[in-house]
């Protein structure tokens, strides 16, 4: 009898909390971080802008206002016009499509590749681990930027090539991260208990190890997008990214080179630059916020 | 006491290699389990006690083949556990389950309690869908929780409740043997009693057999039928619990038992203080592993490994003193 009473009071402790899924808890924590919420909002707005650019843009990309070359920001052209009299706001909007696509898709490639390799390496260990990790070390030895320059020089440029190249040159960090996660998680007792229940490798990897590794992977993915957008902009600025004629933020900056442009018509450089800055900053702050929100050791 | 032997362990050895040097050569081995013999009869509880690092937990894991044995045999009913292939082993896992020490580490934090308990049924194709949900609810009630707890996550529970979930998970496949790896060591004393009582009730209800690994002698005395004492990878004494606690033969057992606190300040007792530390399992002493700390140590103890002998009445001891 006495035992039952104790058990019941024990249960009440558990009942005081609401039923919450992991996602709800993370969202609750993220909401408290103002900077992260603002960043998330900006990122969402940027993607909406990219998707709906044709509807939102005030002009078409090939509308040229010949009477208003290098036009100052005005009521007609909010951000001014460029050397060919094109509306800068329109160009910035369309340009976001390249940056955001490149950022998201090459992140996807890098994360997928990194997770698969890291998972195999960490889970199976031994000789497989050795081969994968030495390969990763070798890949890390190449300075990424010069590798990209070489590849572009050989295979040519273009948005799809840039996406693939950026993805294929940035998986190493994720591989190491996921391997480390798997190495430590697979020694935990809940994994041992799954094994004792007769779970096979696939079940242990997909149901136990991967869900518990998601937090750092999501953080790495978010930060990766920012870095990738920066690299793409740099490549396009050098004329090695997207093809000439494709509108991108880096490409707009390239056209804004030159001392006269910088001094006399600074808006041509400032606005695309500001967009890159804002986007990368948002992704980084969101990544930091997610890192805190996803940390299971952090209690309210 | 004519129950059948359910688990029979013969000369079980587990050495963990130590790799060193540039080429990763094996330079030594941690002899965690160094020749262990015991058997458990159906429906009984065998307590396995010993100091930290003496190989208790390793023994449990090797029996379940969570670790590969270096040598020795494990027989479950009429099956040679070490000889089973992957599929046969998976099937056998239904019969042998384990409850872990740390209720915080042993439940997947990203799975609901319902999924944690239901997973076992899924793996062995015992139940699915509504049927599974019903069975999980039943199990939760069996261990003293409620069906509503199914949709909650482990972090929402207290230590004692989590251990109950661990017990429910082990029961989900309807096993006959459960290896309890220090199941109450991480709990408060008041909660320990609840979990121990629960485990005893379940044993009576389902006819379970337990290998109960612990370092708390009072807990082991309470739950076990027979008790085995382990020191540095070997079992030094094994007997019926009343026999062992009243008539310990091995000097190590005597020292251990003298350390049990007596809840009466007026009772004077003779504590046998063991000098020094447990020697390293990398380099265990020659002969009898205990001779470095034994107050009766003789010359023969340093040279010859004592035999694990039956003194009669199921009382086994490994000590040269018994030969005199």
What residues in A contact B85, CB-CB < 8 Å?
A: none
- The answer to whether A193 contacts chain B (CB < 8 Å) is yes
Quote ipTM for the complex.
0.84
Locate all alpha helices (DSSP H) within chain B, ordered by sequence.
Answer: 56-63, 86-92, 113-123, 129-142, 159-171, 189-206, 217-223, 241-246, 251-258, 299-303
Kindly determine whether residue B119 and residue A194, on different chains, have CB atoms separated by under 8 Å: yes
Q: Is the pLDDT of residue A61 over 90?
A: no
Q: What is the pLDDT of residue A17?
A: 46
Residue of B nearest to A297 (CA): B155
Number of domains in chain B: 1
Ranked by mean pLDDT, the top range of B166-170, B217-221, B266-270 is B166-170
Burial class (CB in 10 A: 0-12, 13-18, 19+), A226: buried
B23 located within any domain:
yes
Residue A3 within a domain? no
Q: What mean pLDDT comes out for the span B268-293?
A: 84
- Lowest mean pLDDT: which of A139-143, B186-190, B248-252, B262-266? B262-266
Q: What is the CATH number of the domain that holds A133?
A: 1.10.3720.10
Does B72 score more than 50 pLDDT?
Answer: yes
pLDDT for residue A1: 38
**Residues of chain B above pLDDT 90, percent:** 46
Which of A7, A194, A195 minimises the CB distance to B194?
Answer: A7
A61-70, A273-282, B36-45, B315-324: which has the minimum mean pLDDT? A61-70
* Cross-chain residue pair B161–A10, CB shorter than 8 Å: yes
Q: Among A7, A22, A189, whose Cβ lies nearest the Cβ of B102?
A: A189
What confidence tier does A2 reach under pLDDT thresholds 50, 70, 90? Answer: very low
Q: Is residue B29 part of a domain?
A: yes
Minimal-distance CA residue of chain B relative to A199: B123
Q: How far apart are alpha carbons B155 and A17 in whole angstroms?
A: 11
Phi–psi pair at B310, nearest 5 degrees: -85, 120
B125 Cα distance to chain centroid: 28
User: What gap in Å lies between CA B259 and CA B189, rounded to an integer?
Assistant: 18
Which helix (H) or strand (E) element contains residue B39?
Answer: strand B25-41
pLDDT at A4 over 50: no
pLDDT of the residue at A14: 43
Residues in B closer than 8 angstroms to A209, CB to CB, are: none
How far does the CA of residue A182 sit from the closest CA of chain B (Å)? 14
B94 touches A: beta carbon within 8 Å: yes
**What confidence tier does B190 reach under pLDDT thresholds 50, 70, 90?**
confident
Cβ-based contacts of A22 with chain B (< 8 Å): 110, 153
pTM of the model: 0.82
Indicate the range of A201-205, B1-5, B288-292 predicted with least confidence.
B1-5
Angle between helices B113-123 and B159-171 (to 10 degrees): 20
Q: Can you give the pLDDT at residue A296?
A: 60
Percent of chain A with pLDDT over 90: 38
Q: Do B66 and A212 touch (CB under 8 A)?
A: no
What pLDDT digit, counting tens, does each position of A203-227 carry? 999 999 998 998 889 999 998 999 9
Q: Show residues of chain A in contact with B106, CB under 8 Å.
A: 189-190, 192-193
Q: Is B109 a member of any domain?
A: no
Please state the rounded mean pLDDT for residues A256-285: 86
> By residue range, what is the domain housing residue A283?
49-58+77-294
* pLDDT confidence of residue B2: 53
Written as six digits, the tokens of B183 are 């199941």
Compute the average pLDDT of residues A176-186.
94
Cα–Cα distance, B173 to A235 (Å, whole number): 58
Checking if the pLDDT of B165 tops 90, the result is: yes
Residue A12 lies in a domain: no
Q: What is the pLDDT of residues A140-163, one digit of tens each?
A: 988 888 888 888 888 888 888 889
CA distance A223 to A288: 8
Q: What is the mean pLDDT of residues B160-182?
A: 92
Q: Which percentage of chain A shows pLDDT scores above 70?
A: 91
B136: confidence class by pLDDT, cuts 50, 70, 90 = very high
Q: What is the CATH number of the domain that holds B291?
A: 3.40.50.300
Sign of CA dihedral B185, B191, B193, B195: negative
Is the model's pLDDT at A182 over the cut of 90? Answer: yes
Residues within 8 A of A (CB atoms), B 290-309 only: none
| Stretch among A4-13, A50-59, A237-246, B303-312 having the lowest mean pLDDT | A4-13
- Residue B149 counted as domain residue: no
pLDDT tens readout for residues B212-258? 999 888 889 999 999 999 999 999 999 999 999 999 999 999 998 88
- Pick A186 or B268 by higher pLDDT: A186
Instruction: Determine, yes or no, domain membership for A171.
Output: yes
**Out of A13, A22, A192, closest to residue B66 by CB:** A192
Say if B152 falls within a structural domain. no
B110 → closest Cβ in A14, A17, A212: A212
C-alpha triplet B204, B209, B214: angle, nearest 5°: 105
Residue A34 lies in a domain: no
Q: Is B34 helix (H, G, I), strand (E, B) or coil?
A: strand
Averaged pLDDT, B301-322: 88
Q: Is residue A64 part of a domain?
A: no
Q: Report which of residues A231 and A11 the model is more confident about.
A: A231
Nearest to B108 among A190, A196, A198 (CB): A190
Instruction: Report pLDDT for B324.
Output: 65
Contact call for B106 and A193, based on CB within 8 A: yes
- DSSP track, A101-118: HHHHHHHHHHHHHHHHHH
- Residue A9's pLDDT band (cuts 50, 70, 90): very low
- Residue A239, φ and ψ in degrees, nearest 5: 80, 15
The count of CB pairs under 8 A between chains A and B is: 90
pLDDT over 70 at A87, yes or no: yes
Task: Give domain status of residue A184, yes or no.
Answer: yes
Neighbours of B35 (CB within 10 A): 17
Residues from chain A that touch B169, judged by Cβ atoms under 8 A, are 193, 197
* Domain count along chain A: 1
Phi-psi region of B101 (alpha: psi -120 to 50; beta: other; left: phi over 0): alpha
| Comparison of pLDDT for A162 and B211, the residue scoring more | B211
Q: Which residue range forms the structural domain that includes residue B39? A: 5-43+58-86+220-323
| Residues of chain A with C-beta less than 8 angstroms from the C-beta of B197 | 3
Mutation pick from B93, B112, B156 vs chain A, by most beta carbons of A within 10 Å, is B156
User: What per-residue confidence (pLDDT) applies to A19?
Assistant: 54
Q: Give per-residue pLDDT as tens, B42-65.
A: 999 999 998 888 889 999 999 999
Test A10 with B160 for CB contact under 8 angstroms: yes
**Is B135 inside a domain boundary?**
no
């Amino acid at each position: 009898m006495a035992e039952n009473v104790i058990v019941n009071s024990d249960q009440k402790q558990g009942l005081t909390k609401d039923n919450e899924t992991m996602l709800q808890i993370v969202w609750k924590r993220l909401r408290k971080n103002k900077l992260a919420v603002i960043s998330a909002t900006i990122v969402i707005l940027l993607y909406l802008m990219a998707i709906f650019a044709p509807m939102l843009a005030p002009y078409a990309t090939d509308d040229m206002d010949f009477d208003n070359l290098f036009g100052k920001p005005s009521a007609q052209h909010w951000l001014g016009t460029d050397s060919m009299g094109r509306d800068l706001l329109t160009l910035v909007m369309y340009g976001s499509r390249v940056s955001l696509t490149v950022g998201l898709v090459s992140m996807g490639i890098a994360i997928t590749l990194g997770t698969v390799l890291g998972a195999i390496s960490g889970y199976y260990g031994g000789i497989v681990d050795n081969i994968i990790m030495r390969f990763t070390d070798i890949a890390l030895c190449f300075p990424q930027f010069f590798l990209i320059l070489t590849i572009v020089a050989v295979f040519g440029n273009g948005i799809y090539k840039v996406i693939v190249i950026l993805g294929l040159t940035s998986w190493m960090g994720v591989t190491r991260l996921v391997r480390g996660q798997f190495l430590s998680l697979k020694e935990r007792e809940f994994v041992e208990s799954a094994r004792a229940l007769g779970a096979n490798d696939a079940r242990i990897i997909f149901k136990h190890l991967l869900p518990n590794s998601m937090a750092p992977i999501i953080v790495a993915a978010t930060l990766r997008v920012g870095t990738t957008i920066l690299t793409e902009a740099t490549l396009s600025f050098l004329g090695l990214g997207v093809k000439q004629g494709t509108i991108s933020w880096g490409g707009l900056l390239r056209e804004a080179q030159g001392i006269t442009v910088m001094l006399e018509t600074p808006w041509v450089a400032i606005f695309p630059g500001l967009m890159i800055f804002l986007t990368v900053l948002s992704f980084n702050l969101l990544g930091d916020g997610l890192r805190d929100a996803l940390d299971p050791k952090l209690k309210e | 006491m004519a129950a059948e032997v359910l688990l029979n362990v013969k000369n079980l050895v587990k050495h963990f290699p130590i790799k060193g040097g540039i080429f990763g050569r094996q330079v030594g081995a941690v002899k965690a389990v160094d020749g262990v013999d015991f058997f458990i009869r159906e429906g009984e509880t065998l307590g396995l006690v010993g100091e930290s690092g003496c190989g208790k937990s390793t023994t449990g894991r090797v029996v379940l083949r969570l670790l590969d044995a270096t040598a020795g045999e494990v027989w479950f009913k009429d099956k040679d556990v070490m000889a089973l292939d992957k599929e046969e082993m998976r099937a056998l896992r239904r019969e042998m389950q384990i409850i872990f020490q740390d209720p915080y580490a042993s439940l997947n934090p990203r799975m609901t309690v319902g999924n944690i308990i239901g997973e076992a049924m899924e793996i062995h194709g015992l139940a699915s869908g509504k049927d599974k949900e019903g069975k999980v609810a039943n199990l939760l009630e069996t261990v003293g929780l409620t069906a509503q707890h199914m949709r909650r996550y482990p972090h929402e529970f207290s230590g004692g409740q989590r251990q109950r979930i661990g017990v429910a998970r082990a029961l989900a496949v309807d096993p006959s043997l459960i290896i309890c790896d220090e199941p109450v060591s991480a709990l408060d004393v008041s909660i320990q009693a609840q979990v121990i009582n629960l485990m005893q009730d379940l044993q009576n209800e389902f006819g379970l057999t337990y290998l109960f690994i612990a370092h708390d002698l009072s807990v082991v005395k309470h739950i076990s039928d027979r008790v085995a004492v382990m020191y540095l990878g070997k079992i030094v004494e094994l007997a019926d619990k009343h026999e062992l606690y009243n008539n310990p033969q091995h000097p190590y057992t005597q020292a251990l038992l003298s350390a049990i606190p007596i809840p009466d300040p007026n009772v004077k007792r003779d504590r046998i203080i063991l000098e020094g530390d447990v020697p390293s399992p990398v380099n265990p002493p020659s002969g009898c592993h205990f001779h470095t700390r034994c107050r009766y140590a003789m010359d023969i103890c340093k040279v010859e490994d004592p035999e694990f002998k039956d003194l009669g009445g199921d009382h086994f001891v490994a000590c040269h003193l018994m030969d005199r």
